[in-house]
Structure 1
Amino acid sequence: MKPTKIHIISTGKQEADVFSKIAASIHPYVDAIHIREKSMTAKQIYELVGLLQKHHVPLSKLVINDRIDVAYATKVGGVQLGYRSMPVEVVKQTFPGLRIGCSVHSLKQAKQAEVNGADYLIYGHIFPTNSKPNLTPRGIEQLKQVNQHVQIPVFAIGGIKPSNVHQIIEAGTSGIAVMSGVLEAANPVQAVNAYVEKMSI
Structure 2
Amino acid sequence: MKGIHLITNGKSTKKELAQLRTMHHYFDYIHVREKSKTAAELMQILDFLAGIGIPLSKVIINDRVDLAVMKGCTGVQLAYNSLPVTLVKKQFPDLKIGKSVHSIEEAWKAEKDGADFILYGHIYHSKSKQGVKPRGIQALQRVAKSISIPTIAVGGIHPEQVEEVLGAGAKGLAMISAFWESPAPLQAAKAYYERFNHWEEEHFERTL
TM-score computed with the length of structure 1 as normaliser: 0.95
Cα drift, residue 151 of structure 1: 0.0
Give the alignment partner of residue 52 of structure 1, picking from 35, 49, 53: 49
CA contact (8 A) 1:23 1:33 kept: no
The two structures, once aligned, show a CA RMSD in angstroms of 1.3
Given residue 21 of structure 1, which amino acid in structure 2 is its aligned partner?
A
Separation in structure 2 between the aligned mates of residue 176 and residue 10 of structure 1, nearest angstrom? 14
Separation in structure 1 between the aligned mates of residue 115 and residue 184 of structure 2, nearest angstrom? 34
Cα drift, residue 44 of structure 1: 0.5
CA contact (8 A) 1:103 1:121 kept: yes
Stretch moving more, 66-75 or 3-12: 3-12
Alignment of 1:1-201 (within 5 A): 5-15=3-13, 17-199=14-196, 200-201=198-199
CA contact (8 A) 1:26 1:188 kept: no
Cα drift, residue 4 of structure 1: 5.8
CA contact (8 A) 1:104 1:110 kept: yes
Cα drift, residue 146 of structure 1: 0.6
Cα drift, residue 188 of structure 1: 1.7
Cα drift, residue 25 of structure 1: 2.4
Q: Deviations over 1:67-118 (max 9, x none)?
A: 1111111011110000010010010011111110111000000000000000
Q: Is the alpha carbon distance of 1:135 and 1:11 closer, same or farther for their aligned partners in structure 2, counting shifts above 3 Å? A: same
The number of equivalent residue pairs is: 198
Separation in structure 2 between the aligned mates of residue 96 and residue 19 of structure 1, nearest angstrom? 33
CA contact (8 A) 2:123 2:135 kept: yes
TM-score computed with the length of structure 2 as normaliser: 0.92
